[in-house]
């Protein structure tokens, strides 16, 4: 690639040599995610991965794809790009975890108005951090420079994850019964959902994002909003080894009212006392500032619960102990009951 340069293409706004420099800068971050199955290096035309099939009778591949959404606006405004990649990985791997799969590998896609190699490398650093947290290898990706389509200081970020499970160990919501226990895995904050509403409420384009806020424990609004999404792959994998997990739900956009019913069979609802939800301060501050109703808050945000796992009542204490051993301050959120409401918040 030493002779690869197009003056005409550069004049149109695309500098292919900047792309080569970005790849050079990101290589150390990509290398930090390498697992035993990786068969290729960054820069090729495809990512190669040979999964370990030991102990798996009938392998099933599970895939998920997502982006970061308008939370990216906060990264632009704060000029901080090294954590947003964690969000991208989290939004993909947390979904495939809900099927009972363990992440194998991840690919990212970055589209930008101007390829600034140092900024691209920062973004990829975050992606690599998320991959290490989830146990996935970053085996490929794409950076597209698109002048005139994106502003020079803006970009979009999306990803794609693949995991694997043994068919007999796939999570099946039809195993849920009345009286099962719902366990909450706390979120780290707003995660990566509802940011169109968040941005409107806080008028982030005109706000002082770096000023400390008393109601946020003295942290700045920008820091709190940019807190990356928690990744649950490793603790949930450990939990599945310890007890039978009947179902799980990743609490994303749509909050409790949309996501929890997706994880339950017909005729079963989740009964949750509002006083048992450990709501994070950012949600109280958001509701107060925006005059948002309690119903809308629970129907938009995770409210401090990033994921739920449902287990039999007899397994609840063992499940809590396992999750806490793996760094999760998990707690009992509620129980399953007969009913068609989906979620009963009382």
pLDDT band at 325 (very low <50, low <70, confident <90, very high): very high
| 207 vs 105: CA distance, rounded Å | 38
Sheet holding 102-112, edge to edge: 59-67, 155-166, 102-112, 137-145
Instruction: Give pLDDT, residue 9.
Output: 65
For residue 47, give every residue at least 6 positions away whose Cβ sits within 8 Å of its Cβ, in sequence order, or none.
40, 105, 107, 139, 140
96 pLDDT higher than 70: yes
pLDDT tens readout for residues 332-343: 999 999 999 999
Q: Which pLDDT belongs to residue 13?
A: 72
Q: How far apart are CA 192 and CA 181, in angstroms?
A: 27
pTM: predicted TM-score of the whole model, two decimal places: 0.94
51-62: burial string, b at 16+ Cβ within 10 Å, e else: beeeeeeeebeb
Rounded to an integer, what distance in angstroms lies between the CA atom of residue 126 and that of residue 284? 28
Cα–Cα distance, 172 to 246 (Å, whole number): 6
Whether 1 shows a pLDDT value over 70: the answer reads no
The CA distances from residue 37 to 33, 56, 244, 292, in Å, are: 11, 15, 27, 47
Q: Is it the case that residue 221 has pLDDT exceeding 70?
A: yes
- The residues, ordered by sequence, that sit 6+ positions from 41 with a Cβ below 8 Å of its Cβ are none
Q: Please report where in the chains the tokens 């591949």 appear, as a residue.
A: 61
Residue 138's pLDDT band (cuts 50, 70, 90): very high
Distances 325 to 73, 216, 225, 235, 320 between C-alpha atoms, Å: 36, 28, 28, 9, 8
Residue 6's contacts (CB-CB under 8 Å, 6 or more residues apart) are: 16
Of residues 131 and 9, the one with the higher pLDDT is 131
The CA dihedral of 165, 61, 172, 184, to the nearest 10 degrees, is 70
Burial of 16: CB neighbours in 10 Å, binned 0-12, 13-18, 19+ = middle
Task: Output the pLDDT for position 128.
Answer: 97
> Which helix or strand (DSSP H or E) is residue 65 part of?
strand 59-67
H-only helix segments in 146-277: 195-202, 221-226, 233-242, 255-262
Q: 3-class SS at 272?
A: strand
Q: Among residues of the chain, what percentage have pLDDT more than 90?
A: 86
Residue 71: phi, psi to the nearest 5? Answer: -60, -25
pLDDT at residue 12 is higher than 70 = no
């Amino acid at each position: 690639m030493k002779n690869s340069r197009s003056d005409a293409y550069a004049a149109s706004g695309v500098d292919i040599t900047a792309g080569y420099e970005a790849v050079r800068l990101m290589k150390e971050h990509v290398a930090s995610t390498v697992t035993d199955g990786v068969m290729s290096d960054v820069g090729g035309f495809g990512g190669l991965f040979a999964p370990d099939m030991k102990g798996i009778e009938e392998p099933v591949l599970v895939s998920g794809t997502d982006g970061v959404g308008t939370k990216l606006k906060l990264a632009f405004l704060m000029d901080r790009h090294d954590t947003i990649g964690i969000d991208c990985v989290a939004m993909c791997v947390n979904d495939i975890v809900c099927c009972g799969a363990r992440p194998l590998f991840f690919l990212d896609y970055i589209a930008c108005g101007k390829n600034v190699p140092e900024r691209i490398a920062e973004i990829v650093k975050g992606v690599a951090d998320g991959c290490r947290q989830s146990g996935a290898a970053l085996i490929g990706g794409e950076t597209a420079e698109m002048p005139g389509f994106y502003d020079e200081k803006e970009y979009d970020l999306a990803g794609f994850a693949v995991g694997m499970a043994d068919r007999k160990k796939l999570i099946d919501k039809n195993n849920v019964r009345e009286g099962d226990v719902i366990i909450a895995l706390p979120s780290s904050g707003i995660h990566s959902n509802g940011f169109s509403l968040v941005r409107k409420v806080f008028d982030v384009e005109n706000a002082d994002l770096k000023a400390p806020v008393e109601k946020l424990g003295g942290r700045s609004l920008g820091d709190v909003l940019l807190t990356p999404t928690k990744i649950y792959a490793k603790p949930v994998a450990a939990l599945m080894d310890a007890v039978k997990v009947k179902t799980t739900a990743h609490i994303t956009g749509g909050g409790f009212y949309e996501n929890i019913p997706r994880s339950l069979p017909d005729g079963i609802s989740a009964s949750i006392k509002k006083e048992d939800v450990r709501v994070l301060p950012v949600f109280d501050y958001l509701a107060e500032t925006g005059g948002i109703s309690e119903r809308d808050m629970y129907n938009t945000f995770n409210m401090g619960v990033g994921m739920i796992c449902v287990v039999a009542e007899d397994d609840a204490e063992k499940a809590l102990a396992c999750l806490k051993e793996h760094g999760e301050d998990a707690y009992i959120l509620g129980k399953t009951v007969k009913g068609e409401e989906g979620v009963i918040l009382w």
